Amino acid sequence: MPVKVKVTKQGESKAVYEIEGEDHTLGNLLEKTLLADPRVDFASYENPHPLENKIVLTVVTRGDASPDEVVRDALSKIIEESRRFRRELEEALRAVGREIEA
């Protein structure tokens, strides 16, 4: 299922995003990464219904950055950390004579 993002509420410091095609995996990563950002006052996600593959992400910033900006930055950080983890995993596997299949 392709990911679809819809902004359901937008303000200078608060936004609510409905993200179809994602679940707790991305929701939890985004929430934790956003909460670690000093520009963020509040971040939370919910899965409105267990049978729907959809999350609703709410972000409130302190005003020195827009919600869109902090979400983009959080996604970039998640991608960067995932790539770092993959590199470290590949190095560890090579050290014991194994490889990751693509």
pLDDT digit string (tens) for the chain, length 102 residues: 689 999 999 999 999 999 999 999 999 999 999 999 999 999 999 999 999 999 999 999 998 999 999 999 999 999 999 999 999 999 999 999 988 776
| Cross-strand bridge partners of residue 54 | 20
CA distance 95 to 49: 44
Q: What is the pLDDT of residue 101?
A: 74
Check if the beta carbon of residue 53 is closer than 8 Å to that of residue 22: yes
Domains in the chain (CATH in brackets) are 4-95 (3.30.1360.10)
Check if the beta carbon of residue 72 is closer than 8 Å to that of residue 79: no
Q: Could you report how far apart the first and last alpha carbons of the chain are, in Å?
A: 22
Q: What is the pLDDT of residue 102?
A: 63
Q: What is the pLDDT of residue 63?
A: 86
